[in-house]
Chain A
Amino acid sequence: MRVLIVEDQDRLRNWLKKGLEEADFAVDATGDGKEGLWYALGNSYDVIILDLMVPGMDGLSILRRLREAGHEDQVLILTAKDTVPDRVKGLDLGADDYLVKPFAFDELLARVRALVRRRYGKHSAVIEVGDLRIDTARRQVWRGEQEVTLRAMEYKLLEYLAHRAGETVSRTDIWEHLYDFRSHTVSNVVDVYIANLRRKLDRPGTKSLIQTRRGLGYVLGADS
């Protein structure tokens, strides 16, 4: 899942990025409002973490421009402004959540996860596709009764596919949601992870969970 952080405090921004990356999010971060808007308009983020007081362009303007441009990204406002009018104004402008500094990082993570779920129309932290069960909070995957151990990138890919279960997900989508700008990966890396997932999840003699739509992308649990 890909997250954008727009926060002008250098230390806070860098550590948020570090913390979210360690929680397996692909993170882009900027301290400038205009740059933040440009990132947000040019990419498909699952969640945007927005500070209200950033130089260049303030958070509420970014939010307004984003919504005017029709972007439905989940936006979490992260600010030291805690008055009710501030919160109301932010939420009314189209923010999905509001968190006041100082905050507990665990809470921020939980809220970001909840926003991701909401982005894909899910309510539960556990996604079930057939007998595949993914606990997004604990980051555990089960196939039937058996737990499957996945590497970080494999898990990220599976979670993304599971969020969009039944849909054809293009390689570009996968690319956009799993990697930040700084990632330098070779073009067939997605195919490699798909192959690894099939090897770890599929049972011999059965149809693969992940189907390839040639020229379009992949589908998780198309038949179920």
Chain B
Amino acid sequence: MMQSLRSRLIVGMLVGMAVLQVAAGTTIYVVQRRQLQRAFDDALLGAANSLTLLVHPGPFGHWFDTNGLERLPVVQAGVGILFQMWSDQPIDMPAPRPSFDGGPEDAGRLGPSRDEDIHPDDRPPSAGRRPGETWPRRVDDPPPPSAEPSPRGPREPRWEPWSRERVIRSAALGELDLPRLETAIGKSRFAAITLPDGRPGRAVGVQFRVPHLLPGPRRTPPAELTVVAAASTVQLEQQLGFLGMLLAATALGTMAVSGGVAWLVVGRGLRPLARVARRIGALDETGLKQRIDDRGVPREIVAVARQLNGLLGRLDEAFERERALTADVAHELRTPVSEVRTITEITLRRQREPDEYRAALGEVLDAITALQELVEKLLVLARLEAGQMKLELRPLALAPRLEQHWVRVGARAAARGVVFAVRDPEELPVLADGPLLDVVLANALSNAATCAPDGSRITAELDDVGPRCRLTIVNAGCELSVAEAGRVFDRFWRADAARSRSGLNCGLGLTLVRRAMEAMGGQATARVDAERCFVLTLTFQRAARSG
């Protein structure tokens, strides 16, 4: 679907970048969130711990330092800390200074107590306090109107009214409760909660014990308290949300910019490809000799250009071979044709005796026969190479066929005193197609007979090599070099530019032998031995011996 290399590269790159961006962004976000939460929790815990310090043991019971509240750093910092404290025994609590009223920072202030119905007489005897004592502290300001006047009546200095509470709340809580997060003494426990006003928040609960101050019969038993400090996480979530948006925006922006840059860069980078394509396009069908100029082409494309040049080279060679073959075929066909024509023309130039005509026709017939043989060889070769020959492989005996063919093709050689001998001691049958085997043997023997010098000996020996049978035909009179021996199978190849003497042996015979052998699942090889004999080796598939 996506055919453009440029699009592929860019989409691939963008996808990769997106994955990276998401991973990096998520990591940053998570780490940042954790750090912010930890800082938040630390602040919360700090506030809770500070609150624990506000409960003091006194000689007549524990009391809560209401006015110390305003000195707490968290209160001073104006962080909206809510808290609630539970105690297992009533805590004395002086009324807060009225100056705390109002203002947004009053979250940390004490709220109205539900235990206001506790009778002032329930207050510890410490209420009988001595003047000049710093504890409980003196309140210079007039008590709030709601505050109950001291039962002992107003005095100078006037002591603020005390209350004894089991639950202490920050003013912002009003009558509402924070969840009571129980934990062990000295431990803290965090929880995400919904604040009484419905906002999301976090809370920490700390449990602590305030020991008695003095030994003796009136000693105060240690008090066990739980303090829960909570704060809204709305701001934290806003910060985190902003961070997330920032990261996402950065990622999107980066990708958009990189996509644009990549589009330009990739386009520029791919330009040489188009250049090479133009160069390839400039090659025409006659241009197999041409090569693509790979100068100034990037390394990656040079490989393509070189491979293409290699392909062109191989195609060119193949075409050259075909051209050469066509020329060779034409040449070989022309020779007998020109013979027929010349003989006929010269014969017809004048009135002749019947014997002369007869002789001329005989020679024309010879030439036509040669032509026919050549055409048939070409035809068989063409069929073999096109794989159109239907073969029927049967077990066949070689020796009798060799003898028969020698009678046919070796007659002239025999007249020159050439002797042919077959050695087949085991009478090995080979797996071959009858007609094709005849082609092989006729051409192999014809070649040997043509080359063998007068009075020499041609031997054909059949032996057994494992699953195969090997027929070795050896004839003397080889004028080939060792290196040239392998080329005898090339079509129309000759040892020198000069033609072989025989009209029949036109350079196709051994080609045909090899192709036919290959078609029958065998092979043909040739070599020149130390005594300058030509050795043609035909390897056949071995047939199972019948009986």
Contacts and interface: CB of A to CB of B under 8 A. Distances in A.
Nearest to A17: B346
Interface in B294-340: 327, 330-332, 334-335, 337-340
B331 A81 contact: yes
A102 B501 contact: no
A19 interface: yes
Nearest to A23: B349
Interface string B332-363: 10110111111101100110000000000001
B331 A80 contact: yes
B498 A54 contact: yes
Contact of B496 (A8, A18, A58): A58
B499 interface: yes
Interface string A30-63: 0101000000000000000000111111100000
A80 B338 contact: yes
Interface residues of A, number: 30
Nearest to A10: B503
B366 interface: yes
Contact of B499 (A22, A53, A82, A83): A53
B367 interface: yes
Given A11-B367, A22-B350, A80 B334 contact: yes
Most chain B CB neighbours (cut-off 10 Å) among A15, A16, A18, A82: A15
Interface string A75-106: 00000111100000000000000001111111
B342 A16 contact: yes
B497 A11 contact: no
B314 to A, nearest CB: 23
Contacts of A33: 498
Contacts of A56: 498
B335 A9 contact: yes
B68 to A, nearest CB: 117
Nearest to A101: B338
Contacts of A16: 342, 346
A106 B346 CA distance: 9
B449 to A, nearest CB: 17
Given A33-B498, A101-B334, A9 B345 contact: no
Nearest to A103: B338
Contacts of A100: 334
A12 B338 contact: yes
By secondary structure, the B interface counts as helix
Contacts of B499: 8, 53-55
A11 B363 contact: yes
Interface centre among B337, B340, B498, by most chain A C-beta atoms within 10 angstroms, is B498
Given A9-B503, A16-B342, A56-B498, A102 B334 contact: yes
A20 B384 CA distance: 44
B341 A55 contact: no
Which of A57, A83, A101 has the most C-beta atoms of chain B within 10 angstroms of its own C-beta?
Answer: A101
A8 B338 contact: no
Contacts of A22: 346, 349-350
A15 B497 CA distance: 24
A101 B498 CA distance: 17
A16 B346 CA distance: 8
A9 B343 CA distance: 12
A57 B498 CA distance: 6
Contact of B349 (A54, A55, A101, A105): A105
Given A53-B499, A54-B499, A55-B499, A9 B330 contact: no
A55 B498 contact: yes
Most chain B beta-carbon neighbours within 10 Å: one of A11, A19, A100: A11
A168 B382 CA distance: 63
B500 interface: yes
A152 B105 CA distance: 150
Contacts of B500: 55
A100 B346 CA distance: 17
A58 B366 CA distance: 25
A144 B366 CA distance: 50
Contacts of B331: 80-81
A8 B327 contact: no
Nearest to B494: A53
Contacts of B340: 102
B378 to A, nearest CB: 16
Given A12-B335, A19-B345, A101-B338, 12 more contacts: A11-B503, A12-B339, A18-B346, A22-B349, A53-B497, A54-B499, A55-B496, A58-B497, A80-B335, A102-B340, A105-B341, A105-B349
23 contacts: A8-B498, A8-B501, A9-B335, A15-B342, A15-B346, A16-B342, A19-B349, A22-B346, A22-B349, A52-B497, A55-B496, A55-B498, A55-B499, A55-B500, A55-B501, A81-B331, A82-B330, A102-B337, A102-B338, A103-B342, A105-B341, A105-B342, A105-B349
List the 3 closest A-B pairs by CB distance, nearest first: A102-B338, A101-B338, A19-B346
